[in-house]
Amino acid sequence: MDKDTASSRRGWQVAAVLVLLTSGVTGCVSPSVPGYQVRAVPKGFLFTANVNAGANPLPDREMLSHGAWLGDIESFEPQSTISITRYAGAVSIEEARAVRDAQAGQYGHPASIDYGQVGTVTIDGRPAFAWMETRFDEHGAVRSMEYRAVIPTDTVSYLVAFSTSAAPRLHPDSLTRVVQSWGPGRTEVLWGPIKIAVALLIGLAALLVYKARG
């Protein structure tokens, strides 16, 4: 392979990597469209519609969509996740209890986990079913928390869950306030995190160009 061909190939490789990186950033930006959503998303969270939904907690219901807000990212690993899953039909409190019981049955009932009880709360002026799961470390300190709410409407239901292991958020009010902010609104693009991501892209691009010329 001659020098010009090798240089051209490295150039295409750089371009391909940049396209992938740019796609990753745009995939974490929530479009500004009307609709139901979490209206009190903490600062620094990024939305992605390309997250793996994992096991379906409501297997008898058709899953219509799934997305998540990722936050408290350290070493590219999110410590906090706000997931939103939309299902066909109105989910009952019995189904919500079955979700909670299935979760408890999967991991048993060790003293280090408190699964909480499913209760009725009001979200967006309508009845919803919610519960808190708390995990403790060997010293009895709270290690992680997850607050889930099933919000049924006449035609669809939403399962909104906020899970976190970030120390500043390990308080019930911190989670319930966010999940119970669910309602109609417009999602705002968080320009601060986007600017940080763009700066990282520029730095990576410079590094790749430097290596391609080497």
Tens of pLDDT along the chain (214 residues) come to 554 544 444 544 444 444 444 444 444 444 444 578 899 999 989 888 777 767 788 989 999 999 999 999 876 777 999 999 999 999 999 999 999 998 888 766 677 899 899 999 999 999 999 999 999 998 899 999 999 999 999 999 999 999 999 999 999 999 999 999 999 876 555 555 566 667 677 877 777 666 666 6
pLDDT of residue 108: 66
pLDDT of residue 110: 76
Backbone angles phi, psi at 150, to 5 degrees: -100, 120
32 Cβ neighbours under 8 A, 6+ residues apart: 186, 187, 188, 189
Q: What would the two tokens of residue 172 be? A: 């019930």
Angstrom distance (rounded) from CA 7 to CA 2: 9
Q: Please give the angle made by the CA atoms of 124, 173 and 140, to the nearest 5 degrees.
A: 140
Residue spans of the domains in the chain: they are 1-29+190-214, 36-189
Closest CA to 121 of 167, 69, 181, 67: 181
SS3 173: helix
pLDDT of residue 211: 66
C-alpha dihedral sign at 191, 194, 196, 199: negative
Domain at 36-189: CATH architecture: 3-Layer(aba) Sandwich (3.40)
The residue type found at 179 is V
Q: What would the two tokens of residue 170 be? A: 């390990």
Question: Per 3-state DSSP, what percentage of the chain is helix, strand, and coil (rounded to 5)?
Answer: 35, 35, 30
pLDDT of residue 204: 72
Q: State the helix-helix crossing angle for 191-213 and 3-27, rounded to 10 degrees.
A: 170
Tokens 């919610």 -> residue? 130
Angstrom distance (rounded) from CA 137 to CA 144: 9
